[in-house]
Amino acid sequence: MAYATPPVWFITGCSTGFGFELGRLLIDAGYPTVVTARDVGKLKPLVDGKDNALALALDVTKQDQVDAAVTATEARFGRLDVLVNNAGYGYQSSIEEGIADEIKAMFDANVFGLAAMTRAVLPGMRERRQGHVVNISSVAGFIGFPGSGYYAASKHAVNAISDALDKEVSPLGIKVMCVEPGPFRTDWAGRSLKQTLSKIEDYKDTAAARMAATAGISGKQAGDPVRASQAIIDAVVGEETPLHLVLGAFGVDAVTSKLKASLDQIERWRQVGVDTDFPA
């Protein structure tokens, strides 16, 4: 999609990881960019001395803060062209041992906060008949790994929202992209991951084992967040914006294998499924 002037970017969750690196690349490239975080002080390294950058405090689970952030963006830059819904975090437990309040808090950030931000920016994008909504999901949006069922459920929801939104707004000139990274070298596992450790012996080789592996992976992941951030920028400003952008070799291989296995199973059970219709 070609913008007449450099698009105005708005990114949630910029204190670290993908949000920080994406904001840094955009600001350094001269794009008008709004970076946000619950603790706005953590954004100082991004915006100091940069006339094209604006840092805002934002908790996406607070509707008044969502509305205020969009208003402040429009007051500073006149519009908001690209929304990147990056804010969120992970919660791991076995399904049986999940804690209801922890699950709900994660969904509030990962799903309902994302939806609130999207609702807030769509009126302006519809009026201009132009814009991008970029939702940062995960390989878990396709695959429910043991120990990550509730996190995967939140990212499955992000994927579903993205698919539906694309059908609703693409006729209006608005593009939707759902980004599904595999493991990347951010501090997600150390800072943005909560766990309820499994104490049930039956899950020691499944949920418990994977949670232990996840907690110890920080700094060892193959994925480069800077390259990933540049790939997101290129996909937005380039000739074609994919609806699904899977990032990292692990992610591409895992998602491809999952979708092929699902299709194979559907085909094996095709006749059983077809025969459940009323006879012609």
So which residues are the catalytic ones?
15, 137, 151, 155
Q: At 17, which amino acid appears?
A: G
Q: Give the number of other Cβ atoms within 10 Å of residue 45's Cβ.
A: 9
How far apart (Å, rounded) are the C-alpha atoms in residues 191 and 255? 25
For the chain, how far is it from start to end, CA to CA, in angstroms? Answer: 46
Strands (E), the chain: 9-11, 33-37, 53-57, 82-85, 90-92, 131-136, 174-181, 193-195, 244-247
Cβ-based burial of 262 (10 A; exposed 0-12, middle 13-18, buried ≥19): exposed
b (16+ CB within 10 A) / e for 165-184 = bbeebeeeebbbbbbbbbbb
Closest CA to 243 of 153, 151, 132, 142: 132
Q: At 234, which amino acid appears?
A: D
